[in-house]
Amino acid sequence: MIMFNFSKFLLKACDEINSIKDYVELDSLRIKYLGKNSFLNFQFKEMIKLDKQDRIKLGSILNRVKNSLLKIISRRKSKLDYLFCKNDLFLKNKIDISLPGRQIRNGSLHPINIIINLSKIFFSSLGFSYVFGPEIEDYYHNFDALNIPYGHPSRSKKDTFWFNNKYLLRTQTSSVQIRFMKKTSPPIRFISLGRVYRNDCDRLHTPMFHQIEGVMVDKNISISNLKWIIINFLRALFINKKYYIRFRPSYFPFTEPSIEVDIKINNSKWLEILGCGMIHTNVLSNVNIDSNIYSGFAFGIGVERLTMLYYNIKDLRVLFENDIRFLKQFK
């Protein structure tokens, strides 16, 4: 075995490392002496050519040299750290660690998300699954398949955000029921939740709002089933409030008969919160469901309206202004 003078090698490395003035040069020397292409690493690889006794002897020497180099580099780094802390620029910009830190406050859910989560919990307990659909919709799924005639006001450019003659921002989550029912056979029970868009803005309306669409299709489904679900949903949501509900007849192209549901809390005015009804036979035909065998109902709930009632908010627009003073009230 040809022995290399490792003591001389270590002394040279020590002098070179201790003369370093910055971190970049120190890292370059670390790679030079301990990197994968270093002389020391090459010696480790060459040990395989030696017999057992020489391998043990050389391995012991190489490990001592390696550990010594690591200690020398570590000490030099500590020295550089000390010199850096004495630097005038560092002292000028140093941070007083005795100062109290900035308090990070816990955030909270947006009130709309709170109502959405409460709604999901209720409908999940009744076996409703959760589905979703695109917000950019075509006129067939948003209007035609839902039995909405060509001259209906909701198709006008004044009320609806159109991209072109075919595509628009959906005006209701009812379009999802068409997409879902086309590929699913009864029994069907689901809710669809998401943003919808209408060209309207005042104290009780915004151009974008959230809707919960609920659908149930099966044999012998009646309007009594629909009323039971709506009554118990509102009872679960407003369990700690004194409220009144009224069902009144209405008209929607996609349901027959159609109902609107209003609610009044304490002595406030009646406020419409949802529309519902038995799914029109034309809609069932459009999704290839035999209306002679199956019947079903659908409802569309305005989430923002429920949020206003739940938290006694008078103006819908404050829900979208992102005022932290308003939002931090909700837990």
**How does pLDDT run across 125-156, given as a tens digit for each residue?**
999 998 888 889 998 988 888 888 887 777 78
Distance CA 129, CA 233 (A): 16
Count of beta carbons in the 10 Å neighbourhood of residue 289: 21
Distance CA 104, CA 109 (A): 16
166 and 275 co-located in one domain: yes
The CATH number that applies at residue 256 is 3.30.930.10
Task: Please identify, among 30, 63, 93, the residue that sits at the C-terminal boundary of a domain.
Answer: 93
pLDDT value for 87: 62
268 and 140 co-located in one domain: yes
Share of the chain above pLDDT 90, in %: 20
306 and 198 co-located in one domain: yes
- Per-residue pLDDT tens over the stretch 12-62: 888 888 888 887 888 888 888 888 888 888 888 888 888 888 888 888 888
59 and 154 co-located in one domain: no
Task: Please identify, among 93, 124, 157, the residue that sits at the C-terminal boundary of a domain.
Answer: 93
pTM (two decimals):
0.63
Structural domain boundaries enclosing 50? 6-93
84 and 141 co-located in one domain: no
The answer to whether residue 290 is domain-embedded is yes
260 and 161 co-located in one domain: yes
169 and 239 co-located in one domain: yes
**Residue 256 assigned ligand-binding role:** yes
Supply the mean pLDDT for the chain: 84
pLDDT value for 149: 82
| Number of independent structural domains in the chain | 2
Distance CA 72, CA 17 (A): 7
Would the pLDDT of 2 be above 60?
no
177 and 225 co-located in one domain: yes
Would the pLDDT of 160 be above 70?
yes
Task: Please identify, among 42, 61, 93, the residue that sits at the C-terminal boundary of a domain.
Answer: 93
**Is the pLDDT higher at 27 or at 100?**
27
